[in-house]
């Protein structure tokens, strides 16, 4: 005997939920397990992680990362700025399959670099923006 699932003319929508572990490893207040990030928070954290990671910083993934900190004092011409924006957007698209239409903007404030990343989440919320400041530390 074979059971068949019949839709009966109803539209069935399956929402694809994104979940990641919280990288700060905070404990869940009720269960005590490692807390998770979900949906837009998970994607936002993943994009930020890609941008803030330098290449060769992760073992076994030498090409991972946006490499923005290493370019902090190298962006002295418009051509280098355009190339850095394109490379950063390419890295985000390559390493985060949940986002589309990535666009990066840089603004210089002395020795700081204000980075804004605009992106859309696949099958989710569009027009997301992530903004943060990159500065050189010793």
pLDDT tens per residue, range 36-84: 777 788 888 889 889 888 888 888 988 888 888 777 777 788 898 898 8
For the chain, what percent of residues have pLDDT higher than 90? 16
pLDDT score, position 134: 83
User: 135 pLDDT band (50/70/90 cuts)?
Assistant: confident
Flag whether pLDDT at 9 surpasses 70: no
User: 3 pLDDT band (50/70/90 cuts)?
Assistant: very low
Angle at 61 between CA 54 and CA 64, to 5 degrees: 40
pTM, two decimals, is: 0.75
Tell the residue number behind the tokens 């330098």, with chain if given: 54
State the average pLDDT over residues 7-15.
49
Closest CA to 45 of 17, 19, 7, 81: 19
CATH fold of 48-135, please?
Answer: Nuclear Transport Factor 2; Chain: A, (3.10.450)
Domain boundaries, the chain: 48-135
Q: 3-state DSSP call for residue 70?
A: helix
User: 95 pLDDT band (50/70/90 cuts)?
Assistant: very high
């Amino acid at each position: 005997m074979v059971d068949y699932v019949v839709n009966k003319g109803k539209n069935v929508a399956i929402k694809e939920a994104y979940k990641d572990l919280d990288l700060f490893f905070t404990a869940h207040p009720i269960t005590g397990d490692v807390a998770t990030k979900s949906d837009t928070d998970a994607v936002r954290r993943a994009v930020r992680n890609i941008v803030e990671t330098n290449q060769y910083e992760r073992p076994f993934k030498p090409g991972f990362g946006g490499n923005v900190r290493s370019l902090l004092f190298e962006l002295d011409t418009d051509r280098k700025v355009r190339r850095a924006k394109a490379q950063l957007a390419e890295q985000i698209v390559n390493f985060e399959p949940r986002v589309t239409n990535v666009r990066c903007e840089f603004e210089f404030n002395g020795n700081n670099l204000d980075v804004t990343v605009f992106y859309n989440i696949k099958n989710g919320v569009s027009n997301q923006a992530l903004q943060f400041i990159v500065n050189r530390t010793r």
